[in-house]
Structure 1
Amino acid sequence: MDLRQMEVVVAVAEEGGFTAAAQRLHVVQSAVSSTVRALERELGSQLFERTTHRVALTPAGEAFVPAARAVLRAAEQARAAVDAVRGELRGLVTVGTMQGVWAGLHRALASLRAEHPGVIVHLRQAAVADIRQALREGTVDLAVVAFDRQQQRGLVTRLLSREEMVLVASPERAFAEDDVVAFAEVAPLPFVDFTSGWAIRYAVDRAFRAAGVERVTTFEVNDIVAASELVRHDLGVCVMPTSIAARFPDLTVRRFVQHVPTWKVMVARPRGEAPPAVQALLRHITPTPGQS
């Protein structure tokens, strides 16, 4: 068993098929298939269930893939340690992000690239629940994300920013007050909500429960721009963090007078010592001025 075989199996598992894995690894599909078959013969167990429609992990494969990921990470850390002794920092850092959330990440990436051009960064954009799972599985090295207290368990976290969430509406929509609003007033309105699994959705759901009122989701989207377009055409209202709402200056913003939903963005990573490349990026990720 060698690292290449592990890399191939992990690629097939993550891509969901042999063809996609071959494209990711820049090899022909037959090479991927033969590598997996050779490893299965060596292990004496089938790692994948193969049908004409899909490829799925067997119980043995489910046990093998996390261990293989750990070995591949350890090998990468060993290479990075040797490079560091030579005064060179290299490696791959996979960063989980949520749509519309940067919290200064772009500045950190620019500083990292200037300081260590040999470090490669992959950004993986996903819903908060998927990022949490990826951190647990080790497929993401760190994340800039909005986690609640329960989601932070088992992780090392550091607060980057804290802000209120606000109601965003079309200028054509009238409210009792010009700058503030209550949950009871907005609950009967058509709502543009983000899909379940989004951190914004979690925060908004909690705020409505705290206020003791229910809303009806008229539109459910997984894109911030799509949400703004629906609001712009007065098809509904939406709750967003202040920093995201500020990207749409043509829309009106109102603060909540009670049960104000809050938005906490943090950098999170698995427990344990981080690889040198991850540590280098973490040093450049700092709290947003005036929000922490």
Structure 2
Amino acid sequence: MDLREMKVVVAVAEEGGFSAAARRLHVAQSAVSSAVRALERELGAALFHRTTHRVSLTPAGRAFLPAARAALRAAEEARAAVDLAQGELHGEITIGVMQGLHGGLATALADFHREHPGVVVRLRQAPAADIPRALRDGAVDLAVTALDTPVPRGLSTRLLSREEMVLVTAPTPDGLPSEGPVTLAEAAGLPLVDFSPGWAVRHEVDRAFRAASLERTVTFEVNDLLAAADLVRQGLGVCIMPPSLAARFPELPVRPFTAHAPAWTVGVVHPRGDLSPAVAAFLRHVRLLRAPDD
């Protein structure tokens, strides 16, 4: 088997189909199909279930995928080591990110690209709860994500920021004092714009209300930061979010909580052990990553 065939199989698995994999790899779909069939013949096992509507991994495919990723990663590391010895850095890294990019990440990516233009960087957005598994499976090389649960074994973390969330309101909110901090109980009594389950912000807000033994009614549930801000702007509800996200909407007032504010902790997470030169180089940039107003 060769690395090209492994790369094709990984692309089909991650993109969920042969056509999408062909677009990602910039080749004809027939070339993708041929590479998969050739590898399946060599292995003596089907790697994918194929139907007219979907493509999914077989048990053999699920067993093959992590090993294929590891082999591709090892090949990238070998190539990057030679490039580094020659004063250049090439390769590819995949970064897992949660919904709502952490403030400053785009700047760090731009700085990294200027310094290492030969490294291809891919971003994969996923719920924060799914990112540790993606790291263990090798689907992403590192992640910038909320640190809302204990880190699984085999992963290392570096703290980037810690904030107390705030209440974002319309310029003239109903049902609140005109100014000053608010309580969680006051927020619970208002129409709330919440993020969907799976968002790290939602997880922390749920936890804060449970700890305070407060019930609340989710009036609007959205999966989009801009949609949440639009609803708040129209006076349809209030929203709880980290200050670093609220800062993107300076026209919307923010109110701190008097106590028991939901916590928001963000860090960079990566597998323990040796890292590829490209990943190690990006980590040097991300060490200084901070929200714009920190």
TM-score normalised over the length of structure 1:
0.94
Tell me the residue number matched to 2:234: 233
- Distance in 1 (CA, whole Å) between partners of 2:30 and 2:37 is 10
Tell me the residue number matched to 2:65: 65
Give the CA deviation at 1:112.
Answer: 2.0
- Distance in 2 (CA, whole Å) between partners of 1:264 and 1:291 is 15
Give the CA deviation at 1:196.
Answer: 1.1
Structure 1 position 51 matched with structure 2 position 48: no
| Contact 2:205/2:262 (<8 A) preserved | yes
Count of equivalent residues: 292
Give, as a single letter, the amino acid of the residue that structure 2 aligns with 1:38.
Answer: A
| Contact 1:204/1:261 (<8 A) preserved | yes
Give the CA deviation at 1:289.
Answer: 8.2
Q: Name the SS for the 1:144 alignment partner.
A: strand
Q: Name the SS for the 1:163 alignment partner.
A: strand
Q: Cα 1:151–1:190, aligned 2, differ >3 Å: closer, same or farther?
A: farther
Matches within 5 A, 1:99-138: 99-138=99-138
Give, as a single letter, the amino acid of the residue that structure 2 aligns with 1:267.
Answer: V
Give the CA deviation at 1:29.
Answer: 1.6
Give the CA deviation at 1:90.
Answer: 1.1
| Contact 1:80/1:90 (<8 A) preserved | yes
Matches within 5 A, 1:198-209: 198-209=199-210
| Contact 1:96/1:144 (<8 A) preserved | yes
Give, as a single letter, the amino acid of the residue that structure 2 aligns with 1:10.
Answer: V
Output the aligned Cα RMSD.
1.9
Q: Which runs of 4+ in 1 moved over 4 A?
A: 289-292
Give the CA deviation at 1:275.
Answer: 0.5
Matches within 5 A, 1:1-292: 1-151=1-151, 153-174=153-174, 175-176=176-177, 178-285=179-286, 286-288=288-290
Q: Name the SS for the 2:179 alignment partner.
A: coil
Give, as a single letter, the amino acid of the residue that structure 2 aligns with 1:25.
Answer: L
| Contact 1:103/1:144 (<8 A) preserved | no
| Contact 2:244/2:292 (<8 A) preserved | no
Q: Cα 1:278–1:28, aligned 2, differ >3 Å: closer, same or farther?
A: same
| Contact 1:98/1:128 (<8 A) preserved | yes
Give the CA deviation at 1:256.
Answer: 1.0
| Contact 2:104/2:291 (<8 A) preserved | no
Cα offsets for 1:9-37 (capped at 9, x unmatched)? 11111111111111212222222112211
- Distance in 1 (CA, whole Å) between partners of 2:22 and 2:147 is 35
% identical equivalent positions: 64
Q: Cα 1:9–1:225, aligned 2, differ >3 Å: closer, same or farther?
A: same
| Contact 1:179/1:253 (<8 A) preserved | no
- Distance in 2 (CA, whole Å) between partners of 1:202 and 1:154 is 24
- Distance in 2 (CA, whole Å) between partners of 1:205 and 1:155 is 26
| Contact 1:15/1:21 (<8 A) preserved | yes
Give, as a single letter, the amino acid of the residue that structure 1 aligns with 2:284.
Answer: R
Give the CA deviation at 1:227.
Answer: 0.2
Q: Name the SS for the 2:121 alignment partner.
A: strand
Cα offsets for 1:194-221 (capped at 9, x unmatched)? 1111110111011101111011111111
Q: Name the SS for the 1:81 alignment partner.
A: helix
Q: Name the SS for the 1:180 alignment partner.
A: coil
| Contact 2:160/2:266 (<8 A) preserved | yes
Q: Which runs of 5+ in 2 are unaligned?
A: none
